A = this chain, B = another copy of it.
Amino acid sequence: MTTHTFTLTVSCADQSGLIAAITGCIAQSGGNILNLAQHTATDIGMFFCRASFAGTDTFTEERFSTAFSAVADSFRMDWQFFDNNKKKRVAVLVSKTSHCLYELLLKHADDELDCDIPVIISNHPDLAHIATSFHIPFFQVDTKKGKEAYEADLNAILDQYQIDLVVLARYMQVMSASFCERWDKKLINIHHGFLPAFKGAKPYHQAWQKGVKIIGATGHFATEDLDQGPIIYQDIIRIADTCSVDEFIRMGKDVERRVLVEAVRRYLAHSIFMHDGRTFVIE
């Protein structure tokens, strides 16, 4: 029998006794803590904590929720509670470029992404064969019917597959404010530039023009402000001035796919806390 495990995340203003209160409540409810990560952001006086624990025989979700609600109220905590047996359902949106899609599918196939990927959606037919070879339903949406109608189609598919998280894997469409709002904090994009530099189109061309010596990619929550949403993960690669823009693009692909997977992995691990427009990723 596999152990049934749960994850609790807490954020609140910093104050005395937080960790003892959290760990005490878990213990008294019959939970054995497996892993606890905690950070106090002294610059802003905020406390963030994630605890994973196994439920013993006496543990029930209802009892714990009741008990922890009282603790949370007394400390004015924001908290979330996850049953780790319930896998998140992730939809991948793509256009014509395959490297990010392949990366997600291969990591998933190797049991390195703890989620289900029940559907792949695209505005082009080009990558259908990849979906097929991984036995995942593929839908092509028609952006020409107008943003509102097309996004309604998109939402219908996402709802049908009971999607928890939408991943834009080099999906070359700007999402509307209402779509971003609907999927607030559940919509991860990969931008092929080191944000906040090089927002918008053709970031590798921008980087080449500027003569930077290092290029990067950024995994972030998509918001209505293009390429401005909260950053989840970034990575870089050093480039030589002997590289052409085409070589930037080639070398950048490895960074993009790695960054996207790492961003999704942190989401699935409940490691991402939000405060005042930025993330605090606590590992």
A interface vs B, CB < 8 Å?
Answer: 16-20, 23-24, 26-27, 32-36, 38-43, 56, 98-99, 102, 106, 110, 112, 133, 194-198, 208-214, 216, 230-231, 233-236, 240-242, 244-245, 250, 253-254, 258, 277-283
Contacts and interface: CB of A to CB of B under 8 A. Distances in A.
7 contacts: A19-B36, A20-B33, A43-B208, A195-B197, A210-B231, A211-B279, A241-B281
State the oligomeric state as a number of copies. Answer: 4
Nearest to A212: B231
A242 B20 contact: no
Secondary structure at the A interface, as helix, strand, loop or mixed, is mixed
A39 B214 contact: no
A212 B195 contact: yes
A41 B35 CA distance: 11
A32 B47 CA distance: 13
A10 to B, nearest CB: 13
A244 to B, nearest CB: 5
Contacts of A27: 17, 20, 24
A42 B240 CA distance: 14
